[in-house]
Structure formats: C-alpha cells, structure tokens
Amino acid sequence: MASSPPDITIPTDLLPGDGRFCCGPSKVRPEAVAALAAEAGEYLGTSHRQPGVRFMVARLRNGLAEMFALPDGYEVLLGNGGTTAFWDALSFGVVQERSHHLVFGEFSGKFAEVTRSAPHLGEPSTAKADPGSAPALAAVEGVDAYALTHNETSTGVAVTPTRPEGADPGSLVLVDATSAAGGLRFDPTDTDVYYFAPQKCLASDGGLWLAACSPAAIERIERISASDRWVPASLDLGIALENSRKDQTYNTPALATVFLAVQQVEWINQNGGLHFAAQRTEANARVAYEWAEASEHATPYVTDPELRSNVVATVDLADDVDATVVAAVLRANGVHDTESYRKLGRNQLRFALFPAIEADDVAALTRCIDHVVGELRTA
C-alpha cells in the first residue's frame, strides 16, 4: 500500500456488530468458537484414527448429507488441500479423457487450466463469458466431465447447476461450489461431484476439501483408481473414498477446521436445513442490492438480476470515489475485506453475504460505505 488511508472515523453507531465480510476465510460464528474452546481439552490434540475425531468427521459427513438432502447412494468424501488440491484430484481421478468448462471468472478459469495442462488428458473445451455474466451450458460430443461453478466468487455471479441436455451417456457434472455450498439452493440429482471447502458458507477454516459424490461418480473414481493411470497418493480419490468411508482422511486433517464446520452444518440443520441458510443469504442479498440500486454512488456490478449472487456481492462505485480508498478506510475502522477481486481490476467493492453474516450487519456496512463516500467527497 502506497500511503495510509485518509483519517476518517466512522461513528460507532453506524458500525456493524461484526466487521468480517471476507469471501474466504469468512466470518466464524462466535458460538462455534466458544463450543470449540469448551471441548478443546477432550478433542484438540487427539488422534484422527480414534473414535473421538472419527465421530466428528462422521457428524460432518452425515450433517452435509442431511443439509443437501442427498439421494440414496450419494457419499460425502473429504481430504486435505482445499478446493485447489481437489481440482488436481479431479484431473487425476474423475476426468476420464476430456472435460468441458464454463469459464466466467478467475476460479472457473483455474480448473480449466488444470485439465488443459494435465498430460494424461485431452485438450478440454471451454465456453467463456465476460466477467459479470455466465456462459450457456450445452452438450459437447466426446466430453466425459462438465465443469460448472455454482458461484463465481471473483465476480459475484451465481448459476444453479443443471445437466447439459443431450450429453454423452455416462458423462458427469462436476460443480465447484466452494463459495455456494451451504448458502445456495440446488438439486443434488443435477450434480455428480458437488465440491467445496469449509472456509466460506461453512464458516470454518481452509485446507480441507469436501465432495458430495453420486453413485456414477463413485463408479468412475473406482474404475480410474483401479486402472494403470499414475496418481499421486495424496490426490488419489480411490484412497480418499476408502478413508472417507471410515470417517478418516488419508493424512492428518486440521481438527479445529472439522469441528467448526460441524458447528455450522448442525446450526443450519437445526434451524431447517439448506432452506434456512438460503433464506439468510437471500435476506443479506436483498439488503445489499436494494441499497446499491437506490444509491447514487453505487451500482450492482452484475447487470442481470437473475445472475446476482446471494453469497458474494460485487458493487461498482462512481468514478470520483476510489474503491480501494473506501475499502482501506473501512478496514481502518474494523470493517474488513471489502476489496474487489484483485485481478478483476474494477473500481469495485466485494463483500460476503454468507449465512453466518447478519442482515443487520450488511445494512450497517452499506451505511458505513455511504458515510465514507460522503466524507471523501467533501474532503
């Protein structure tokens, strides 16, 4: 940062109760942290091969199956390395020959690059759209895996996953739901691998990947794992499947991450499941976009209201106010991580609307932005 932000103090009565708006790692509910502290002496620092931790992993797998209302035969797999490592695992263990990617931002582009550079796979095809919009999904001959993104976190565009009409029989639908899982509605029967990491809607920490897999996906994993394709053990989904079925991971997981994710999933389930979580993000999104539409200095970046994300808001600011300065002033006042995605290069604020975040705090954030813009304009 070249210089420190202008000295603007936001009045206390405008500030949110909780100033964490990062799109990942995201706000962890204080109740979850307190529960971890209360159980720490019996849980942290104990073996992940023993019943205590394995029971926690079972609660996570079962809780997710309940939250997503997974059909019979779907299984929740998990392993270390977060979504980025899981892309590599998919390129080894699920894509048979050729994948097709809908690319409309940084994250969807990264997975396409993974399969493009994998020497054992054919050249993937891509359908691209400009940032802020989304490409159409169409079947492509010879493709055995379709790569969709439920919520493109870099742009704030959300698209409900569907199966491409007329796709080759046996082709699978892989959905990067890293910032969507547990915050947006979807139909699991429209997906074969619905994968994510717990530092976004699950209000936990990073480093773990989780994947809800259909029977067809499990069959693909088992078939490739038994073939002579070389796969590094830490990315081998056959090994991950075996361990997950025993409520374990191949190597040591972060126990606190598992615990905090369980807290969030059980909180959601106890309050009505995914419907409850989706209602919370809908309420947060309503506050954010209604404010931006009415504002004279802010505009929703995503022009098509149907594509606007309920979990990640992106808002352009008027040319005469510098969004990086606004974000820096907010940060200096304890309101964190409202900077836009760095590579998007727009005069924009981006903030999370995840289920752990209170609608009142989103409203407070908008009042803080208005205040800072007003101060900057009169300075």
Tell me the closest approach of the beta carbon of residue 331 to ligand PLP, in angstroms.
20
- Check if the beta carbon of residue 315 is closer than 8 Å to that of residue 348: yes
Task: Verify binding: residue 153, ligand PLP, rule CB under 6 A.
Answer: yes
Task: Verify binding: residue 176, ligand PLP, rule CB under 6 A.
Answer: yes
* Span 186-205, contacts to ligand PLP by CB under 6 A: 197
Task: Using CB under 6 A, pick the residue from 80, 96, 115, 179 that binds ligand PLP.
Answer: 179
Please identify which residue in the block is written with the tokens 């969030």: 264
Task: Using CB under 6 A, pick the residue from 149, 310, 314, 366 that binds ligand PLP.
Answer: 149
- Closest to ligand PLP by CB, 185 vs 367, is 185
Task: Using CB under 6 A, pick the residue from 84, 160, 243, 295 that binds ligand PLP.
Answer: 84
φ/ψ of residue 121, rounded to 5: -110, 155
Tell me the closest approach of the beta carbon of residue 151 to ligand PLP, in angstroms.
6
* Span 252-291, contacts to ligand PLP by CB under 6 A: none
Please identify which residue in the block is written with the tokens 């899982």: 181
- Closest to ligand PLP by CB, 82 vs 238, is 82
Tell me the closest approach of the beta carbon of residue 215 to ligand PLP, in angstroms.
25
* Span 19-38, contacts to ligand PLP by CB under 6 A: 24
Tell me the closest approach of the beta carbon of residue 78 to ligand PLP, in angstroms.
12
Instruction: Return the range that interacts with ligand PLP (CB under 6 A); candidates 77-85, 94-102, 238-246, 366-374.
Output: 77-85
Task: Verify binding: residue 83, ligand PLP, rule CB under 6 A.
Answer: yes
Query: Which among 379, 365, 344, 346 has a CA at the least distance from the CA of 295?
Result: 365
CA pair distance 181, 220, nearest whole angstrom: 23
Instruction: Return the range that interacts with ligand PLP (CB under 6 A); candidates 80-88, 136-144, 246-254, 280-288.
Output: 80-88
- DSSP secondary structure code for residue 175 in this structure: E
Which contacts of 248-253 are long-range, i.e. CB under 8 A and separated by 24 or more positions?
248/48, 248/49, 248/54, 248/57, 249/48, 249/57, 249/78, 249/79, 249/80, 250/79, 250/80, 251/80, 252/48, 252/80, 253/48, 253/57, 253/78, 253/80, 253/207, 253/208
With H, G, I as helix, E, B as strand and everything else as coil, classify residue 315: strand
Q: What angle, rounded to 10 degrees, do the helices at 51-68 and 255-270 form?
A: 40
Question: What H or E segment, with its residue span, contains residue 92?
Answer: helix 82-93
- State the number of binding residues for ligand PLP (CB under 6 A): 12
CA pair distance 272, 254, nearest whole angstrom: 28
Q: Which residue number is nearest to ligand PLP in terms of Cβ?
A: 82
| Interacting residue ranges for ligand PLP, rule: CB under 6 A | 24, 82-84, 107, 149, 153, 176, 178-179, 197, 206
